[in-house]
Chain A
């Protein structure tokens, strides 16, 4: 293994030269066994010993011990995964329907609770119909693969999630990636694809940067080129917009969106994904979206909890108001420390450290030792020159926890304490 071992990443072992098809690449094990690499990986798969609340306990990979920590890594933005009403509704559904749906939705897996929840989601998003999937990733892969065909053009923002890219690859459509939020670049690609069937894909909140798409302008371009639009509101649903319907509501463009995707694993606090669109597209997808029609319908116990989560999050604005108040408070504190927060416009706040993976891992360890669980985000998930931490703000955060967070970040990242 060369001496620049820390420059290698998971991006370098994708292609596999091992003649044994069930073996890892010849140098992968060697790389993984290197102490510096092992140290980096020790931040992954740390085990939580309680629910993923802001205040939880972790079995630390760093010292093998249990610690109480402030958790700013989970996506439990509104604390709904442990909301008492959500838990009660989930238990009631579990009692009534049992654990699983025992079938694909097209055959025997569709329960009345799925139909009702999909109806409510469609109504919430202002669309005619909705398809529920057992995973968010599955919903993106399945919907894109179900819509796009060979010869079609899929034009997506370069920062789009892997599930969208994978759906594109599976579909066989030609894929073009426009520079992040760059309208001229998008237009150039639309020009190139002119006359073909085109789908433009963007996200509501970009998950590594916390910024928003230039949605009205992007939709202007879609309309000018007769392209369909698809928005992934994984991180923005229940959080953005007057009524929590997402970034499309925030920009006042809901009726111009073709397909609205959401996940049920983040602000909803459960697991699964959904896609809202016209009745006709949803009917078509039911025939061709493999992640839906060849996969078991979602667990009714989860669906019951999710239905209540939707109700709790939308009956008034209290949860998102608290979240936004926490976002302002934390952001102000972080800006006061002179940190580089990129272009975040949301509850997803990166702290950009720069090109040094060593620094990133050093800070991550020191913060965890002090009781702050902030997952480092390394290349290739983000560009090599902009390695970072990513704060997921939660409505559960108390003022004391935010002050403690700011103190730890100041001591470790600003003052360099270890």
Chain B
């Protein structure tokens, strides 16, 4: 799986979970917060994305990530493994 494919998965999940956001408008250099996500929404997006990708990344490694792209990079480490 490539990073771009991972980003696509995350975008769709964001669209499903947040109000008034469509996947096509999401810029991965931005944070989910920029699209109105609160911390509970972010937990939900991360969980759904991981289920979709069939990976399990410890939350402790996700806390400091700044944007969607960084999340995809982190996911990529786990899809390769």
Contacts and interface: CB of A to CB of B under 8 A. Distances in A.
A4 B56 CA distance: 11
B58 interface: yes
Given A14-B47, A15-B51, A384-B63, A165 B58 contact: no
A329 interface: no
B58 A12 contact: yes
B80 interface: no
B51 A9 contact: no
B58 A4 contact: yes
B58 A8 contact: yes
A177 B51 CA distance: 26
Nearest to B63: A384
Given A177-B38, A177-B39, A385-B64, A11 B51 contact: no
A383 B62 CA distance: 11
A12 B63 contact: no
Contact of A158 (B39, B47, B58, B81): B39
Interface in B38-81: 38-40, 43, 47, 51, 56, 58-61, 63-64, 81
A384 B60 contact: yes
Nearest to A192: B36
Given A2-B56, A175-B40, 16 more contacts: A8-B60, A11-B60, A12-B56, A12-B59, A15-B47, A17-B51, A27-B56, A158-B39, A165-B40, A177-B38, A177-B39, A379-B60, A379-B63, A384-B60, A384-B64, A385-B63
11 contacts: A2-B56, A7-B58, A7-B60, A11-B60, A12-B56, A12-B58, A15-B51, A175-B38, A175-B40, A177-B39, A385-B63
Interface of B: 38-40, 43, 47, 51, 56, 58-61, 63-64, 81
A-B interface, 7 closest residue pairs, ranked by CB to CB distance from nearest = A7-B58, A11-B59, A384-B60, A8-B58, A15-B47, A7-B60, A379-B60
